[in-house]
Amino acid sequence: MTTLAFVNLPVADLGRSTVFYEALGYRFNPQFTDEKAGCLIISDTIYAMLLVRPFFGEMFGRPVADAHATTSIMVCLMVDSKDEVDRLCNAAIASGGRKYKDVEDRGFMYGWGFEDPDGHVWEVGWMDPAHVMPEGEPA
């Protein structure tokens, strides 16, 4: 059975976040989306659950951190081309995201990133598959 990952993130305004992520070309799974939570589909194994802040705090029984003030997670997505990296980051910035870092181009590896409206940091990158060794093979 394939493992699925859900990155759970608090958001101040789910409507605003929905508009933002839809502008990046993503869609939400309606089965797990309501007024308190949005299930953002990144791939068939990767999802982000966007949860309104009071609900998020209740779920975990702790105060919800302000991602505009501190950084305790950075979510990195590796996509299948440099063009896709640029498309996602440019769409994010055009939709109210903030650039998080400049383009880093090392030839075999390319990436930059953005912050979403809640301050969550997303890095988007591409890696030349030929450069990545088969998993588990020591360097």
Partner 1 sequence: MPTLLFANLPVENFARSRAFFEALGYHFNPQFTNENTGCLVISDTIYVMLLEHAPFAGFAPRPIGDTHGEVQASLSLTAPSREAIDEILAKAEAAGATVDPEISDRGYMYSRQFTDVDGHIWTYLWMDPAAVEAH
Binding site for partner 1 (CB under 8 A): 1-10, 29-31, 41-46, 49, 56-57, 60, 62-65, 67-80, 100-101, 115, 119-121, 123, 129, 132-133, 135-139
Q: What DSSP element (H or E) covers 19? A: helix 14-23
Smallest separation (angstroms) from partner 1 to the CB of 11:
11
**If residue 92 lies in a helix (H) or strand (E), which one and from where to where?**
helix 82-94
Taking the complex as a whole, how short is the minimal distance between the CB of residue 94 and partner 1, in angstroms?
A: 20
Q: Minimum distance between the CB of residue 95 and partner 1, rounded to whole angstroms? A: 19
**Cβ pair 7, 75 in contact under 8 A:** yes
- Residue 138 CB, shortest distance to partner 1, in Å, is 5
User: For residues 19 and 132, which CB has a smaller minimum distance to partner 1 in the complex?
Assistant: 132
In angstroms, the CA 23 to CA 138 distance is: 40
